[in-house]
Chain A
């Protein structure tokens, strides 16, 4: 199967996001973009640049908020999250590279709320794959893909950003 090209995906994500922000009348001067480590941060950097937002980019590492500690233990290489703005009362755009089960986003929402009560949280994802395990949907995504069972997609980067298929045993 051929995976879509990154520039086309980013163009599509940006266009859909613009529509969404207009429809919801989001004040872009108050909008903060937050990327989820690692791939989500790369996509967030691109979106932050393209949208030309004044608020600095935030990053979240959801390692301490994962729901599989009892099975997997502590993941390796957790970084400190960095939200260089007040979350309280702000519109937040969460960005990830791929949404599938929705568990990463649940963990990110939990972590985000520990920094304050945002006014509204939106979700953008470069790719959306089937397999949701929670009632969480992106407000904008670059493309929806269907993969064969056992296949995953992985974003590599940051320069250049590339997509590759990973076979899961």
Chain B
């Protein structure tokens, strides 16, 4: 029998319940501005909790959050774990590569076992694009699925923590020019950032990269393309450097790292093209001297560590909102069957 909660469809349809509330968080695409703003507002309130002696709220007491990482991650996994713990959830960390799947158990079996353990949310990172969507729509629709990065497709919590950082430093998006610099081709972060910035109404979104590191049709996402750093940075209010994803490069896309740094590296000199009060961001981990100069990464305009702090607040917001959406649906079903 097909579970009525399963909804084959676009990520946007799968993510929202009938009442328009979040039940999974898989992709920025298709989510309305009001919902993104609600995530940012909720995260802002969680930032307040981080100032208390006890940095915890009891919202997810008795709930279980399973971190399912099919791909390596340090920062994302650590901040998701901390976020779930600060919501008082019990956290299960599964490094799938080294566990059951290595013994031959299928993904479906693993997930169904976890569902039988009554997990309330799965945080999923996977190297295949669409993995989180597949799980949410086909496998365990009644468990809140949070996408922690899938292939080259999306990394929506990273994009939202970037949006929170921008909003806290620059306020209203409608006047902002945002430049995303570097390896756009391999970046799920860039795609989610462009979608989020456009939904939130940023004045201008730019991508700056050599042709070989730009996806075909990137303009269709809603951004201006620049291949010269001086032009791409001119007057920008926010500059986001991306990591050069050497591990994903299977062809000769670049002559050399030093060549890339010379033309696209964010240095004190190149930053002078941007607005004098521009902030500098980087999703981490940083390749110093490859995409960004140390003096910029550690400099007064860098908000990179602030991004990490905001990451916990955004992940608390998304986890609590998605579990809340599932809770409301369950309560509604219970009332209907009474």
Number of A-B contacts (CB under 8 A): 58
What A residues does B57 contact at CB under 8 A?
64-65
Partner of A114, one of B21, B44, B52, B320: B52
Residue of A nearest to B38 (CB): A76
Given contacts A70-B327, A81-B48, contact A115 B53 (CB under 8 A): yes
Residue B110 is within 8 A (CB to CB) of chain A in the complex: no
Given contacts A64-B57, A72-B328, A114-B53, contact A80 B321 (CB under 8 A): no
Residue B325 is within 8 A (CB to CB) of chain A in the complex: yes
Least Cβ–Cβ distance between B233 and chain A, in angstroms: 34
Q: Is the CB of B321 within 8 A of A74?
A: yes
Residue B100 is within 8 A (CB to CB) of chain A in the complex: no
Interface size (A, Cβ < 8 Å)? 22
Residue of A nearest to B321 (CB): A74
Q: Is the CB of A114 within 8 A of B328?
A: no
Given contacts A69-B324, A73-B327, A74-B321, contact A80 B44 (CB under 8 A): yes
Residue A40 is within 8 A (CB to CB) of chain B in the complex: no
Least Cβ–Cβ distance between B137 and chain A, in angstroms: 22
Contact with B along A63-92 (1 / 0, CB 8 A): 111000111111011111110000000000
What B residues does A79 contact at CB under 8 A?
45, 48
Residue B47 is within 8 A (CB to CB) of chain A in the complex: yes
Residue of B nearest to A113 (CB): B54
Least Cβ–Cβ distance between A6 and chain B, in angstroms: 29
Residue A56 is within 8 A (CB to CB) of chain B in the complex: no
Residue A46 is within 8 A (CB to CB) of chain B in the complex: no
Residue B49 is within 8 A (CB to CB) of chain A in the complex: yes
- Report whether over half of chain A's contact residues are helix, strand or loop; otherwise say mixed: loop
* Cα A150 to Cα B331 with chains together (Å): 23
Interface size (B, Cβ < 8 Å)? 25
Given contacts A65-B57, A74-B42, A115-B53, contact A82 B48 (CB under 8 A): yes
What B residues does A115 contact at CB under 8 A?
52-54
Residue of B nearest to A82 (CB): B48
What A residues does B58 contact at CB under 8 A?
64-65, 110
Q: Is the CB of A69 within 8 A of B45?
A: no
Least Cβ–Cβ distance between B310 and chain A, in angstroms: 13
Least Cβ–Cβ distance between B49 and chain A, in angstroms: 7
Contact with A along B34-69 (1 / 0, CB 8 A): 000010011011111100111011111000000000
What A residues does B52 contact at CB under 8 A?
81, 114-115
Residue of A nearest to B327 (CB): A73
Residue of B nearest to A112 (CB): B52
Contact with B along A98-123 (1 / 0, CB 8 A): 00000000000010011110000000
What A residues does B59 contact at CB under 8 A?
64, 69, 74
Least Cβ–Cβ distance between B237 and chain A, in angstroms: 25
Given contacts A64-B57, A110-B58, contact A73 B325 (CB under 8 A): yes
Least Cβ–Cβ distance between A87 and chain B, in angstroms: 8
* Cα A64 to Cα B45 with chains together (Å): 9
What A residues does B53 contact at CB under 8 A?
114-116
CB interface residues, B 298-321, toward A, < 8 Å: 320-321
* Cα A77 to Cα B4 with chains together (Å): 30
Residue of B nearest to A71 (CB): B331
* Cα A28 to Cα B321 with chains together (Å): 41
What A residues does B331 contact at CB under 8 A?
70-73
What B residues does A73 contact at CB under 8 A?
21, 324-325, 327-328, 331
What B residues does A116 contact at CB under 8 A?
53
Nearest first, the 5 closest Cβ-Cβ pairs linking A and B are A80-B48, A73-B324, A114-B54, A64-B57, A74-B324
A-B contact pairs, 16 of them (CB 8 A): A64-B45, A65-B57, A70-B327, A70-B331, A73-B324, A73-B328, A74-B320, A78-B42, A78-B45, A79-B48, A80-B44, A80-B47, A113-B54, A115-B52, A115-B53, A116-B53
User: Can you add 18 more A-B contacts, CB < 8 Å, to A69-B324, A73-B21?
Assistant: A61-B45, A64-B46, A64-B320, A69-B59, A69-B60, A72-B331, A74-B42, A74-B59, A74-B324, A78-B42, A78-B45, A79-B45, A79-B48, A80-B44, A81-B48, A113-B54, A114-B52, A115-B52
